[in-house]
Structure formats: C-alpha cells, structure tokens
Chain A
Amino acid sequence: MTEPTVTLEQRLHAFLDGELSAPERAEIEQILARDAQARAYLDGLRLLQRAVVAGLEAEADRVPEARFEQIWDEIDRTLDRDLRLQKAPEPPPSLWARIGAALRPRFVPLAAAAGVAAVALVTWSSLGTAPAPTNNEPLVASNPAPVKPVLEDTPIAVAVPVEEPPLELPAPNGGPAQIKRIEWSGKAGRISEIEGKRNTTTVIWISDDETSGSSERSL
C-alpha cells in the first residue's frame, strides 16, 4: 500500500499549522523563497485564519455583558449548592436504623439460634402428639368423647368451615344435697326443721348460732 500523495498545497497547510518536521519545514521555506504563487497561497491561508477568528470573536462581542452576568449568577448559585452539599452533615439515623445497626452483629447468630429452636420445638411437638407406647398410661382421658372424623367423606383438602361439636360436660354424680347450715345477713344458723312448701316457697326453721332462738326462713 502506497502512501497517499501529499500535495504542495497540503504541505503548505501543515507548514502553516506547525506540523512539519525541521527538514520538511526547511524544504517548504526554500520553495516559498522562490515561488510567488506558493507565498500568495500561504498568505491567503493566513488571512483566512484571521478572518475566522475575527468572525467568531465578533459574534462573541455581540453578546451583552449582562447576559454573561446572568450566567455568572447561575454559576454562583450552582457552586453554592455544591458547597452546601459538601458541608451538609449526615442526617441522624432513624430509630429503626439504629436498632438495626445495633442488632446487626448479633442478628445472624440470633436468627440461627431461633431457627434451630423453632425446628426443635416443632419436632418435639410432633413427637408429643404421636401415639404413646402401649405400656404407658394414656395421656388423654380414658373415655374421651367420640370424635367424628372431620371431612371423612371429603378427601379434597378444602378449607370448609366445620361446625364445632357441642361441649359435653361430665354427668352429675346424682344424690340429694345435704345442707345443714346456712348464712344470711352476716348471721349463721343450723337448719333445725324443713317445714315444707307453701305454694312455691320452701319454709325452713333456723336455730341462730348467737341467739339460740329459732326463726323461719323461706327459700
């Protein structure tokens, strides 16, 4: 691959821009010394440079100073904001953040211990509800109320509300109550006689412990 040919015109551009090596520069200077057309070309390039610079600087001169003042004001405000951000103290951590920070070093071992404890509890609970060995006393009442299997005919495990079976209270052991004494109004006495019913009222006679007298009471 051959190097692209660099014309004298291009070399004059590079000469103008200070991009030539010392030998190349010396060669161009020799050409310029004897070639008026080359000199004119170079002068034209220099004039173009100055025209471009002058044209853009003239454009900048059209901007009123007040416009740059506005820009400075905006820059000033921006720098103030930057400064405030640099100086602003860190906001105090919230209560939860502080608690979290305090617990963080202990949280992992605590969580692990809690997990192990939970697993142990679940395991122990499941063993506790398993059927007891036959040679041991049953842990539940020997004559429990028959429990009807819930959802026995419903194999699908659906959360259906089940009516609670009625609470079965133990049957009374029967027999009349043997009431011999009675207290009333801060007094006490012995039931000396049960007279019987008068209509719907049962009349009893009480021997007062303090006065040794008898009086009629009704239940």
Chain B
Amino acid sequence: MVSPEADDQALVEATRRGDRQAFRILMQRYQRKVYSIAYGFLRNPEDALDVVQESFIKVHRYLHNFEGNSSFYTWLYRIVSNLCIDHIRKNRRHRELEFDDGLRHDGGEEGEGSAFVPPSSLGDPANLLQRREILEAVQDGLQHLSDKHRAVIVMRELQGMSYEEMAREMGCSKGTIMSRLFHARRNMQRLLTERLGYVPTGPTGGADEDSDAERVPAPQAVLP
C-alpha cells in the first residue's frame, strides 16, 4: 500500500503494478490543477470536467509509455492540453484555433532541459485570492481573449511550457509564440485595466536619469 504522501514516481510505479488506490492519490493530487488548465482552455465547467475524466483515463492507459525522463505532471499537463486542443478543434464555436497534428506530441515526453516552471513558484497567490474582484476580473478577461491568446497564456502561465514546446504544440514558429504571448498578455492587461479602473503606477516617462537603455513603453502593471 502506497502512502498518500509518496512522491509522484512512487505512485506511478504502484499504479503500474495495478494499485488502483495509488492512481486515485495521483488523481486527487492533480485533479484541480488539471481542471484549471482545462477551464483556461475551454471556458466551460462541464467541458473542463469531461477533459479531467478523459485525461486521467488516458494517463492510466498509457502509463506504460511514461519513462520518467520528465516529471509526471509535465506529461499529464501535455495530455490535458492535447485533449483541450482536440476539444476545441471539434467544436465549431472554436474554429479560430488551429493546430498542426503533425507537430503534436501526444503522450510523449519532453526532452531534457525543459524550461518548465511550476506555477506555484510564481509566487504566493494568497493575497490575490483574497481579492475576489481581481480574480473575477481575471476570469472575465480570459473569457474575452481569443482562443489562441488564451491557449498561450494557459500553456505558459499554468503549464510552464517553453516557447519551443508551445510552438510544437500549436504548430507554429517560436517567434510566432513569442509575439502571440506578448499580445495576449497585453490584451489581458488592457481588459483588466478596463475592468478594475487601472491607474498606472509606474513612470510614464523615460528611464532613470543615468540610463541609456531603450525607452520602455508605458508600464503594464495593472494591479496595485
């Protein structure tokens, strides 16, 4: 019997040996994160829950393909994003998002040197969670982004995917991802500004007096 505190790899090994309870612990550990990714892509609670279910079934069925070269959650999140992309492609309401199947890495593992950054490392969101209006503004802002912009934001901010990985996933160049992410964030900031009545907090003029750096456009920090 595997302990609920066991690490992912131990739970994966136990699941491979047929320990259903170990797999349940894995699911309980990641189900809400998987849901948040799916919801970020799909913006529909029931569709997101369907993806949660499909994702874990697929994980169990293909667990023998997981070699452990990358973290389990990276592999899991990749499966989730692929299912979301499939869901969007099947849904006529989301024709805007186009992916190249030939560049998909369904169930595969990323190579070494992944630039994955766990979302939790981005900072303690406790203070943000206390401000309901900000959270609602974020959710509303995501709702108004295009599918492509929402996809790059979710893949980058929640899944921690590198530009290269996102480019493979979406079937475009790394430069396109860089540009798309830049515009997605800018649109998101604009939407939040409109919603929250943003007042610029940074300097609107040039850089520091002793700076000869490039001139930076108006600051985008939207949250006080």
Interface of chain B residues 44 through 93 with chain A (CB within 8 A): 45, 49, 52-53, 56-57, 60-61
- Asked if B1 is at the interface (CB within 8 A of a chain A CB), the reply is no
Smallest CB–CB gap between B201 and chain A, Å? 7
Contact of A79 among B57, B185, B211, B222 (CB under 8 A): B57
Query: Closest Cβ of chain B: how far from A57's Cβ, in Å?
Result: 5
- B203 interface contact, C-beta 8 A: yes
Instruction: Say yes or no for B125: interface residue by CB 8 A criterion.
Output: yes
For B, the interface residue count at a CB cutoff of 8 angstroms equals 71
Residues on A with beta carbons closer than 8 Å to the beta carbon of B53: 71, 74-75
CA distance A63 to B44 in the complex (A): 12
Interface status of A141 (Cβ within 8 A of chain B) = no
Contact at A67–B49, with CB atoms within 8 Å? Answer: yes
Task: Name which of B2-10, B102-110, B115-123 contacts chain A.
Answer: B115-123
A209 within 8 A of B: no
Chain B interface SS verdict (over half)? helix
Q: Is B214 an interface residue (CB 8 A)?
A: yes
User: Known: A18-B117, A53-B157. Is A60-B32 also a contact (CB below 8 A)?
Assistant: yes
Please report the total number of A residues contacting B with Cβ < 8 Å: 49
Binding site for B on A (CB under 8 A): 4, 7-10, 12-14, 17-19, 31, 34-38, 40-41, 43-61, 63, 67-68, 71-72, 74-76, 78-79, 82
Apart from A10-B178, A82-B61, what are 14 other A-B pairs with CB-CB below 8 Å? A7-B214, A18-B115, A35-B216, A36-B203, A38-B213, A40-B219, A47-B223, A52-B142, A53-B119, A57-B33, A59-B36, A60-B32, A71-B49, A75-B27
Instruction: Report the 10 A-B pairs with minimum CB-CB distance, sorted nearest first.
Output: A44-B221, A40-B202, A55-B138, A54-B125, A35-B207, A56-B36, A54-B128, A60-B36, A60-B32, A8-B214
Which B residues are closer than 8 A to A by beta carbons?
20, 23-24, 27-28, 31-33, 35-37, 39-40, 45, 49, 52-53, 56-57, 60-61, 115, 117, 119, 122-123, 125, 128-129, 134-139, 142, 153-154, 156-158, 162-163, 175, 178-179, 181-182, 185, 188-189, 192, 201-203, 205-208, 210-211, 213-217, 219-223
What are 25 A-B contacts defined by CB distance under 8 Å? A4-B175, A7-B214, A9-B216, A9-B217, A10-B178, A13-B178, A17-B156, A17-B181, A18-B115, A31-B211, A37-B202, A37-B216, A40-B221, A44-B222, A48-B189, A48-B192, A51-B223, A52-B142, A53-B122, A56-B40, A59-B139, A63-B35, A63-B45, A68-B27, A76-B20
